[in-house]
């Protein structure tokens, strides 16, 4: 028996490879099929099943392409309706994989088709569960994403989730290993651990949701404090229910090398957004005007999903040399398939063609502290609500990056606006967005709150935002 967790940090997503006696199954695969095919070939195994725990909202699965290329059967749990050939399993159904058995446990709540797969070893003993978004390490799946189905409310779904956990999962032996679909950093939960697996027995002790004394308490705790999901989530769900182009097909278009003239033409004729994936401190020194910076070396795909609501929006890329392939791949993972190509030669080629180059001011935390001492500044903290609540600067305003559009009226058109996040990644995203919206008085604080805390500037948990000049 072989079980491998294939964890993708930038998406906080766990796919799984299981193998026994020459047969393999892949659970919740990412869009690129080749790594799973390569893994099976290294063992001389044949992929028999592609198991999906539910219709994912935060990424586009590679189930259709993987099944097409390997002859594997796609399996979903009860209530799933697909536009492609799939086996819709029944609750309690047993699937044979070599000497192992996979038992289908229908666990609705996160979504109504959500399913947990229980792996039984050669002797029929429960070994582990692949819990998808039903049970995380430290949390459970958010119950608000499928509430538009019929008359279901978020509270209805939370009730289903409670029943699923208590009748299907918590009755299993404590030594059963829990393998979830996501970890800390995913928007599919609110309290997920950085650990990517645990025993069920330990989760019963430490997971707040599993410790709820009553169903009513569970519903209250699980639904409290849920932030609105990123706008791309329902679009990814729709894509996962249908047939979509393979990653190889997307690359034929997305990896076209474009001249500055072609970039301008596509931007004008197609309304394409120029997405610059370079590091923040490289971007600020020179970039194509009105481009948005979301660095590839960070939580790239989730922030693209948060800042560009329409997955079909035309995109042109500016990348560091040789990173265009990775950028297209990571965009495809979250459904951004409409990439027209990349600027060949990058910003240097843009300059050499006589095109205008824009820039952003970025200062050190030390320089920021000196300016703060000299007079009152408009300071905006773009971190998450939980980060702000834990500690923030006195006199700063909170304008979380995910909801930046809701705060545009708060930024001054006359006086400089100073932005910071935790370390500098998100503040440069915000700065580039504001710059593209016509705010030319943006100053980004390099190093973010981590660097600011090393200065003498006061911080507090309680602040009354000052008015913007």
Domains within the chain, CATH numbers bracketed: 2-235 (3.60.15.10), 246-352 (3.40.250.10), 361-460 (3.40.250.10)
- What pLDDT is stored for residue 357 in this prediction? 97
| Cα–Cα distance measured from residue 468 to residue 415, given in angstroms and rounded to the nearest whole number | 9
- What pLDDT is stored for residue 468 in this prediction? 41
Question: Residues 6 or more apart from 207 whose CB is under 8 A from it?
Answer: 135, 137, 138, 139, 140
| Cα–Cα distance measured from residue 194 to residue 459, given in angstroms and rounded to the nearest whole number | 27
- What pLDDT is stored for residue 227 in this prediction? 85
E strand residue ranges, 279-347: 292-293, 315-318, 339-343
- What pLDDT is stored for residue 185 in this prediction? 86
- What pLDDT is stored for residue 228 in this prediction? 87
- What pLDDT is stored for residue 187 in this prediction? 87
Place of tokens 């593209």: 436
- What pLDDT is stored for residue 466 in this prediction? 44
Low-confidence ranges of the chain (pLDDT < 50): 463-469
Structure tokens at 316: 């042109």
Per the CB < 8 A criterion, the answer to whether 278 and 429 are in contact is no
pLDDT tens-place string over residues 11-47? 999 999 999 999 999 999 999 999 999 999 999 999 9
DSSP 242: S
Sign of the alpha-carbon dihedral angle for 310, 316, 320, 324: positive
- What pLDDT is stored for residue 375 in this prediction? 85
DSSP 99: T
- What pLDDT is stored for residue 463 in this prediction? 45
Question: Residues 6 or more apart from 107 whose CB is under 8 A from it?
Answer: 77, 114, 115, 116, 131, 132, 134, 161, 164, 165, 168, 169
Question: Residues 6 or more apart from 126 whose CB is under 8 A from it?
Answer: 118, 119, 120, 172, 173, 176
């Amino acid at each position: 028996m072989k079980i491998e967790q294939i964890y993708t940090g930038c998406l906080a997503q766990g796919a799984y490879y299981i193998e026994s006696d020459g047969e393999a199954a892949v659970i919740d695969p990412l869009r690129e099929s080749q790594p799973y095919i390569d893994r099976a070939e290294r063992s001389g195994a044949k992929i028999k099943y592609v198991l999906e725990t539910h219709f994912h909202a935060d990424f586009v699965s590679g189930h259709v392409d993987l099944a097409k290329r390997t002859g594997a059967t796609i399996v979903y749990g009860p209530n799933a309706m697909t536009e492609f050939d799939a086996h819709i399993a029944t609750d309690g159904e047993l699937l044979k994989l070599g000497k192992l058995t996979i038992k289908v446990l229908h666990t609705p709540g996160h979504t109504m088709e959500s399913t947990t797969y229980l792996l039984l070893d050669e002797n029929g003993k429960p070994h582990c569960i692949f819990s998808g978004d039903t049970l995380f390490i430290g949390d459970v799946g958010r119950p608000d994403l499928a509430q538009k189905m019929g008359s279901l409310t978020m509270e209805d779904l939370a009730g289903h989730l409670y029943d699923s956990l208590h009748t299907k999962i918590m009755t299993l032996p404590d030594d059963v290993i829990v393998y979830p679909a996501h970890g800390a950093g995913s928007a599919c939960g609110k309290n997920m651990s950085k650990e990517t697996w645990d025993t069920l027995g330990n989760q019963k002790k430490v997971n707040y949701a599993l410790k709820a004394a009553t169903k009513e308490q569970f519903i209250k705790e699980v639904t409290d404090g849920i932030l609105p999901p990123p706008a791309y989530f329902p679009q990814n769900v729709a894509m996962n229910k249908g047939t979509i182009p393979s990653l190889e097909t997307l690359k034929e278009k997305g990896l076209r090398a474009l001249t500055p003239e072609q970039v301008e033409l596509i931007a004008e004729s197609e309304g394409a957004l120029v997405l610059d994936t370079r590091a923040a401190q490289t971007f600020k020194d020179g970039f194509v005007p009105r481009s948005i910076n979301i660095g590839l070396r960070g939580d790239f795909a989730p922030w693209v999903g948060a800042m560009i609501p329409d997955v079909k929006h035309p995109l042109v890329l500016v990348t560091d040399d040789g990173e265009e392939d990775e950028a297209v791949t990571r965009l495809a993972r979250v459904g951004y398939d409409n990439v027209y190509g990349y600027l060949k030669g990058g910003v240097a080629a843009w300059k050499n063609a006589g095109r205008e180059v824009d820039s952003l001011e970025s200062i050190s935390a030390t320089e920021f502290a000196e300016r703060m001492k000299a007079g009152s500044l408009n300071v905006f903290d773009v971190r998450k609500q939980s980060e702000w609540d834990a500690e923030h600067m006195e006199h700063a305003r909170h304008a979380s990056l995910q909801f930046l559009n809701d705060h545009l009226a708060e930024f001054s058109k006359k006086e400089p606006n100073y932005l910071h996040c935790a370390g500098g990644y998100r503040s440069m995203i915000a700065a580039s967005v504001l710059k593209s919206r016509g705010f030319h008085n943006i100053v980004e604080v390099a190093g973010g709150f981590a660097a600011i805390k090393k200065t003498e500037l006061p911080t507090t948990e309680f602040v009354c935002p000052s008015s913007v000049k």
